Amino acid sequence: MATRGFTGRRPPEATRERLPPGQYLTEDFPVLQLGPTPRIDLATWRFTLRDGAKPLKSWSWEAFEALPRTTWQGDIHCVTKWSKFDTAWEGVTVDDILADAGVAAPTEFALAEGYDDYTTNVPVADLRGGRAMVATRYAGAPIPPDHGGPARLLVPHLYFWKSAKWVNGLRFTKKDEAGFWELRGYHMYGDPWREQRFTGD
């Protein structure tokens, strides 16, 4: 159904091809989070890999920064409708984290956990094969706290709520367990190209 009188301000063709349905391009970097930005001290920062409740390995900031580093450049898409093109991140891929821990992913599902008690679920297949990293730098500088620094998950092929800010761990789970937003009606998987914003999309 066309909306009476709406013509729209169409972006150029090259932009439209890169925009998933319902998204618009922004030059800013808006912020989405459910509460205030937590205050995190690098001296006590830790990242912990867990199989259920059992810790597999834990890294201090120094140890984490010493892991092999990977850069990624590309587009990110937020469920609140903005997309941002050509963002540049640097961090440690989940593959390299697992390799350093000397383990294979013990299950097919994972929950990313944050310092603000946020959680979000991602299938392990979407974290492996260079598709996800724990990022510690954005545009060549440490990630600002409002954008999830010191470290955030980056799963850029899914809506950005899956890229948990202030991440402090990955927990492997036997089943696909809903995280914070997924319990509140957001989609379990969240593919922007299939516009999976909410349950049932």
Q: Could you say which residues in the range 103-142 bind other proteins, by CB under 8 A?
A: 116-117
Number of residues that bind ligand FAD (CB under 6 A): 2
Provide, rounded to whole angstroms, the least separation between the CB of residue 17 and other proteins.
Answer: 13
Find out whether 151 and 145 touch, Cβ atoms under 8 Å.
no
Q: Which C-beta is closer to other proteins: that of 83 or that of 136? A: 83
- 3-state SS, 59-70, equals EEHHHHHCCCCE
**Residue 122 in tokens:** 């991602």
Identity of the residue, 9 or 140, whose beta carbon is nearer to other proteins in the bound complex: 9
With CB under 8 A as the contact rule, the residue among 37, 58, 70, 173 that binds other proteins is: 37
The DSSP output letter for 37 is P
Give φ, ψ of 167 to 5 degrees: -65, 140
Q: Please say which residue, 9 or 175, places its beta carbon nearer to other proteins.
A: 9
68-76: Cβ within 8 A, 24+ apart: 68/92, 68/93, 68/96, 70/96, 70/130, 70/133, 72/133, 72/135, 72/154, 72/156, 74/156, 75/18, 75/156, 76/156, 76/160, 76/163
Number of Cβ atoms within 10 Å of the Cβ of 69: 15
Residue number with CB closer to ligand FAD (24 or 198) = 24
Taking CB under 8 A as the binding criterion, the range among 58-66, 99-107, 124-132, 178-186 that sits at the site for other proteins is: 178-186
Is 15 a residue that touches ligand FAD (CB under 6 A)?
A: no
List C-alpha distances in Å: 183 to 121, 171, 188, 191, 199: 10, 17, 9, 17, 10
**Least distance from C-beta 24 to ligand FAD, angstroms?**
6
Residue-level length of the chain? 201
* Residue 140 binds which entry of ligand FAD, other proteins, none, CB below 5-8 Å type-dependent: none
**Cβ at position 88, least distance to other proteins in Å:** 21
Residue of this chain nearest to ligand FAD (CB atom):
80
Task: Give the binding site for other proteins (CB under 8 A).
Answer: 1-10, 21-22, 24, 26, 28, 30-39, 80-82, 116-117, 146, 180-181, 183-185, 197-201
